[in-house]
Amino acid sequence: MGPGVCAGHGGSDGAPGSGARENGLEAGFTAARATGDRWFSDVALRDAINRGDVPGPRMVVAGHPIGIPGGHCDDAGWVPGLFGREGGPLEGVANGADQMAESVRLQIKYGADLIKVCATGGVISVGDDFGERQLTDAELKAVVDAAHMAGRRVTAHAHGTEGITAALRAGMDAIEHASLIDDEGIRLMKERGVFYVSTIYAGDAVARMARSGALTGEYARKALAVGDMIMKSVGRAHAAGVKVALGTDNIFESHTTDAREFELAVKAGLRPMEAIVAGTRVGAELIGWEKNIGTIEAGKFADLVAVRGDPLADITLLQRVQLVMKGGVVVVDRR
């Protein structure tokens, strides 16, 4: 089969990554899209992989995710002054259209390949609800305009219906989660060719953590509410013809487990081959690398993944890859 392109690989939504991003290569992902981290650690990791200092997938990274003070992308809920000062545009915390544009430009200055904005509240954040909208029309448009002017694509963390629609009308290139998407949101995504990044893994993970007691209080309440919604929304959007790209938003477990998203996508209603395409060709299109990766064709990078058996008959085989080749070099061989 072709190479894996994990669209939501790594820390995102304002939370730190697991510290094991390079292990995504072991799971068969030869390219990855990291949609937000702190202090440009994703930039440093991307560059270290590109230099050959550490093994890992080719990475497209976002720098700090951008949002409002006290919103999903901010460090809310702590004692004031604990971090020395309030975060500002450099840290992805912005008020108003001008600061939003400034924040975009600062992320790009320090190495961001794409821009991530938090259009709604989230699950792993305090003081907000995952369905509430957090940015104005002017703020969303400022982010999109500043990013597109610099040749960067923009994705929005968005759970709630109003936030999803506002982000789409502002010109987002992709939406993460879209848990409460309605028919209008699905229509806009299809009409405008916007990518739906699946992240069913994240919904499943937080729901499991809530049931086990690892998440409590408001975290648990939100996790149990949102868990099943993402899977249902992905299924509805896919059935309507929206472009679904495989992504995990995995900030909870080792990235060696990221291929579970294929299984969850099939449970959401994608056929096995459609799930594989979401994690290869569509993922490559999402990050703009379709000329080099995503399919097996002459002239493209020699990225290959092999399993023992037929993943169209058993999609879980993709969680047990036997061989991974990146750029013509075998990097994993379990045969």
Active site residues: 116, 249
φ and ψ of 227, to 5 deg = -50, -55
Q: Kind of pairing, strands 329-333 and 323-326?
A: antiparallel
Q: Round to whole Å and give the CA distance between 248 and 255.
A: 9
Contact 29, 305 (CB under 8 A): no
**Sign (positive or negative) of CA dihedral 114, 259, 38, 13:** positive
| Cα–Cα nearest to 61, from 178, 159, 145, 153 | 153
Please tell me whether residue 30 adopts helix, strand or coil conformation. Answer: strand
> What CA–CA distances, in Å, run from 318 to 27, 81, 92, 297, 332?
8, 46, 35, 21, 14
> What CA–CA distances, in Å, run from 273 to 18, 288, 290, 311, 315?
29, 21, 18, 8, 9
Dihedral of CA atoms 188, 189, 190, 196 in degrees, nearest 10, equals -170
Cβ density class 300-332: b for 16+ within 10 Å, e for less: bbebbbbbeeebeeebebbbebebbbbeeeebb
Residue found under tokens 């992989």: 49
Contact 233, 186 (CB under 8 A): no
One-letter identity of residue 290: E
One-letter identity of residue 292: N
- Farthest-apart Cα atoms in the chain, separation: 57
